[in-house]
Structure 1
Amino acid sequence: MKAHTRSLRLKVAAIAAAVAGLLAVAIPAQVSSAAVDAKHVAASSSSTIKPTIVLVHGAWADASSFAPETAALQAAGYTVLAAPNPLRGLQTDTKAVADFVKQRTTGPVILVGHSYGGMVITGAALADPDVKGLVYVDGYAPDNGESAQALTNASPGSLLNVADPSTVFDVVLPSPDAPQADWDSYIRQDKFKSVFAASLPSTLTNVLAAGQSPVTFGALGTPFIGTPAWKTIPSWFVIGTADRLLPPVEQRLMAQRAHGTVTEVDAPHLSMLAKPLQVTKVILDAARSVH
């Protein structure tokens, strides 16, 4: 049994490291000691239906930011799907993810949201009773009336909380007279590393900055309206203590009011790439809760 446990642990760690390597992420050696517990990986039987893991990326990112976790979860026998997050507006984004979950999954589902993806899963989860758990990775878990922008600025420490947005954002206008809510925003290339990915290698940071998906200012500024899913669905929170986009103190407050299970990691806003094994373990903990 010990040999089997060690084999499973090494398998998950190796796959996560291999995928991270393809993305030019250097996973520290000490992460190996925190590899996924084999009981979390193997504790299923032929009579148990494993939940589908649906990953929802945030603003200025895409599904590739979850690549290490995707590979590790697949190695553990889970079906993993990356939901499209259009980043056009909170209501339309929430509907897109809700429709995806309802039509692409059967049986129990764990929704995982990074950053602005947390805003989306907080509403989308209530559209399908099969959603059994929520995982927020450096994510927004809003209450009624709260927007991503308001939560970003609620506590000191965010590098996005600036007097002049042009010092942080580049914008693309869909038309010369488009309202600001419809402007596409990008994190400036020279700010991306400090805001998003401080501890990650610059080679990776530059690739991510070049390929970021824009989000409209309206999506960030629109308040969540309704009853948040975390009031009725169990939640888990991964909090990057070096996050310079969404201050850790604000993340802790959101996790506390949700009565969520908290894991803190020494990571910037992209905890999925900086600490993939720890993030994978939290997702597995959430998945096992419904076995």
Structure 2
Amino acid sequence: MSKLARSVIVAVTAAGAALALTVPAAAGHPQRPKPTVVLVHGAWADASGWDKVTSRLQHDGYTVLAAPDPLRGLSGDAAYLAAFLQQRTTGPVILVGHSYGGAVISNAALSDPDVTALVYVNAFVPDQGESVLGLQSGGDPAALFDVVQYPGAPAGDAELYIKTAVYPQVFAADLPAATAATMAAAQRPVTLSALLEPSGPVAWKALPSWYVLGTADNILPPALQQQMADRAGSRVTKVKAAHLSMVSRPDVVTTVIESAARATT
């Protein structure tokens, strides 16, 4: 081989090595960061209801925050969540709400431009001016709730607990009896005023949404869930589950959340 040929080969090899060092192998396919998933519980539950969903999302590489919901008033709860989002998250956010938490995320999401999608799980999805109790009709409140007066309550307000004896049937019908009993004992009350307060402007008119619809829900009728989801233009996934579908069917709920994340971030 001539000296000229050897020189050309050396030069080409050196140039290729230099290019490999300066151009990342995946430059054509940059990895987008996964969004933060913020989970918002509803009334008569707490953030621990999201435990199974949280562990699955974390396993799949998502940052997850299970936000506390004060359950004191819809506008105040939404303001609390808005502050939580602004101070505890950076980058894109998928906002997930269960039951009354659906009304809270609908009111809070517009405060943070980083929220890219809403996911409702057996949730109330009010329009502006509607209340949770206004959407829910029928039933005997006296047979369902224990009413507890709390210090400093506005006139006519009180905390509502689901009666321990009926909690498993209406709230946790597809969970083991021991689990339902434990959740009934630890339930967080909601104020009557929170359930009666009209919704402010709602984010589902501006953001894409997904809805997990529990077809065996004994507290939020499946027909009402379908009506609210259709009105919001949500992509609906039906699951044979009672009201706490994130506890009884965390696999389905996780899949829907991740679908929303992939579609919007």
Q: TM-score, normalised by structure 2?
A: 0.86
Q: Is the 8 A contact 2:145 2:160 kept in 1?
A: yes
Match of 1:162 among 123, 139, 157: 139
In the alignment, which residue of structure 2 is the partner of 1:102? 86
In the alignment, which residue of structure 2 is the partner of 1:22? none
- What is the alpha-carbon distance in structure 2 between the residues aligned to residue 216 and residue 152 of structure 1? 16
Q: Say which SS state the counterpart of residue 59 (structure 1) adopts.
A: coil
In the alignment, which residue of structure 2 is the partner of 1:221? 196
Q: Is the 8 A contact 1:84 1:96 kept in 2?
A: no
- What is the alpha-carbon distance in structure 1 between the residues aligned to residue 181 and residue 170 of structure 2? 13
Where structure 2 has 5 or more consecutive residues not aligned to the other structure, the ranges are 1-28
Structure 1 counterpart of 2:92, one-letter code: P
1:267 has 2:251 as partner: no
Please report how far the alpha carbon of residue 149 of structure 1 lies from its aligned counterpart in structure 2 after TM superposition.
Answer: 0.5
- What is the alpha-carbon distance in structure 2 between the residues aligned to residue 92 and residue 178 of structure 1? 14
Please report how far the alpha carbon of residue 179 of structure 1 lies from its aligned counterpart in structure 2 after TM superposition.
Answer: 2.6
Percent pairwise identity: 53
Please report how far the alpha carbon of residue 166 of structure 1 lies from its aligned counterpart in structure 2 after TM superposition.
Answer: 2.2
Q: Is the 8 A contact 2:75 2:200 kept in 1?
A: no
> C-alpha offsets along residues 79-120 of structure 1, whole Å, 9 cap, x if unaligned?
000112100000110000011011100000000000000000
1:278 has 2:249 as partner: no
Match of 2:160 among 160, 170, 185: 185
Q: TM-score, normalised by structure 1?
A: 0.79
Please report how far the alpha carbon of residue 274 of structure 1 lies from its aligned counterpart in structure 2 after TM superposition.
Answer: 1.1
Q: CA RMSD in A?
A: 1.4
In the alignment, which residue of structure 2 is the partner of 1:10? none
Please report how far the alpha carbon of residue 194 of structure 1 lies from its aligned counterpart in structure 2 after TM superposition.
Answer: 1.1
Where structure 1 has 5 or more consecutive residues not aligned to the other structure, the ranges are 1-44, 154-160
Q: Is the 8 A contact 2:93 2:114 kept in 1?
A: yes
1:249 has 2:223 as partner: yes
Pair member with larger Rg: 2
Please report how far the alpha carbon of residue 236 of structure 1 lies from its aligned counterpart in structure 2 after TM superposition.
Answer: 0.2
Structure 1 counterpart of 2:145, one-letter code: F
Mapping 1:142-153, distance limit 5 Å: 142-153=126-137
Runs ≥4 residues deviating over 3 A: 175-178
Q: What is the aligned residue count? A: 237
Please report how far the alpha carbon of residue 137 of structure 1 lies from its aligned counterpart in structure 2 after TM superposition.
Answer: 0.1
